Amino acid sequence: MENSEKVKKFSESISKITDELHKDVVGQDDIIENVIVAIIAGGNVLLEGVPGVGKTRLVRSLGRVLRLPFSRIQFTPDLMPSDVTGTNVIEKDANGNMNTVFRKGPIFANLVLADEINRATPKTQSAMLEVMQEHKVTVAKQTYKLEEPFFVLATENPIEQDGTYPLPEAQMDRFMFKLVVKFPSVEELAGIVNMTQITLEETAEPVVDGKTILEMRELAKSVPVLDEVLNYAVTLVSNTHPELDSKVPSAKYIKYGASPRAAQALITCAKVRALMKGNYNVSYEDINALAGPVLRHRIKINYNAINEKLSVDDVIKMLIDDTRKPHKLSRMFKDGEADEASEHEEEDEKSTAKKEKKAKKEKLKKDKGENDSQAQE
């Protein structure tokens, strides 16, 4: 099958998944698109939003559409690590012998919803680190691998709410995206009410399965990335570090920058997004569109930004603008385009000088006419 046919089939599959999800979720187009990107790219997603905006419903519907085993873990302050990963228990067999048997926890599923993950203590949160990064669980020196595809979608309540624990930076970095689920508009809220009056159950139909997701992931890996686009992505991540000599003006608002995982996530997800849009190459638009979800939880703004009432998203937009400007200049002066650029500049200067000269002549004529009329009077 040619690349064009593969890209077309990929894009059609994504459209079917999106259409089915919209049967159960009203609005939230950006959230749905980015969650699908992360699943195919093999990453995890952190959803932030107030309770009741459809985060859990989205994951349940995803499990139906993708034909993946779904598991939900409700994080609470008294939740223990073994409640997540599982534990060894002693059982008596048919012969009366006592054997140690591993009882798998709810983490052993393809699609895991970690609901209100920031309500658990740091000890329990740390149990998720190995699972999210390496897709395996170690209990009593025994390692158990999880089936692919494996995807964790965690929800967290805003830190201002009672009973929440801030997630450590090491765990935040395990999430490929952080998405902010906004409260629905009046029209969307009316659609939600009308939908739930009919049924509270999900109605989406299965479209693809786990094997298809893995095939789509392999296709995304083959998408080419130009050196210029790659350089732009890594420069964007590098610009989040104010301690570097090559810092940009917007870096003054950042306390600490993103890790190398941010650059990896940008390129990996940009390949998936390119295929979703029907393209077989990564563009600058793909990088800019994903910069917010990738960097939002990986950079920390300082008091300068807070004093100027800037949010993390505002600083990311400034970073994109600062990175884009020198990159445009470098492209302009590449491959002999410098001469053309200088010629355009000379032409602009000449036209400006002509306009100024013409304006001076008209002013002299006007002044002379006024003086003549005064003399006649």
Q: Write the DSSP string, 73-86.
A: EE--TT--HHHHHE
Q: Give the pLDDT of residue 115.
A: 83
CA separation for the pair 286, 196 (Å, rounded): 35
Q: What's the pLDDT at 327?
A: 61
What pTM did the predictor assign? 0.75
Same fold, 1-222 and 223-332: no
Name residue 59's amino acid.
Answer: V
Residue 109 corresponds to which amino acid? A
- Cβ 261 vs Cβ 173: under 8 Å: yes
**Strand blocks (E) in the chain:** 45-48, 70-74, 86-92, 98-104, 111-115, 136-139, 142-145, 151-156, 177-180, 254-256, 300-301
Q: Does domain 223-332 have CATH number 1.10.8.80?
A: yes
Q: Which helix (H) or strand (E) holds 238?
A: helix 227-238
Amino acid (1-letter code) at residue 239: N
Residue-range domain boundaries for the chain = 1-222, 223-332
Structure tokens at 314: 């505002």
CA distance 276 to 9: 10
pLDDT of residue 79: 84
- List C-alpha distances in Å: 148 to 43, 110, 136, 217, 347: 12, 7, 11, 11, 60
* Phi, psi at 280, each rounded to 5°: -115, 35
Question: Quick one: which of 320, 297, 189, 338 has its CA closest to 250?
Answer: 320
Give the DSSP letter of residue 33.
H
Q: Measured between alpha carbons, how far is 262 from 132 in angstroms, rounded to an integer? A: 15
Cβ burial of 308 (10 Å; 0-12, 13-18, 19+) is exposed
Digits of tens for pLDDT over the chain (377 positions)? Answer: 566 777 888 888 888 888 888 777 777 778 888 888 888 888 888 888 776 666 777 777 888 888 888 888 888 888 888 888 888 888 877 777 888 888 888 888 888 888 888 787 777 777 777 788 788 887 777 888 888 888 888 887 766 565 666 777 777 888 888 888 777 677 767 777 777 666 556 667 778 888 888 888 888 888 888 889 999 999 999 988 888 776 788 888 888 888 888 999 999 999 989 888 888 888 899 999 999 999 988 888 888 888 888 888 898 999 898 888 666 555 544 444 444 444 444 454 455 556 556 666 665 666 655 555 554 54
Q: What is the pLDDT of residue 150?
A: 86
- Domain 1-222's class? alpha beta
The pLDDT of residue 258 is 86
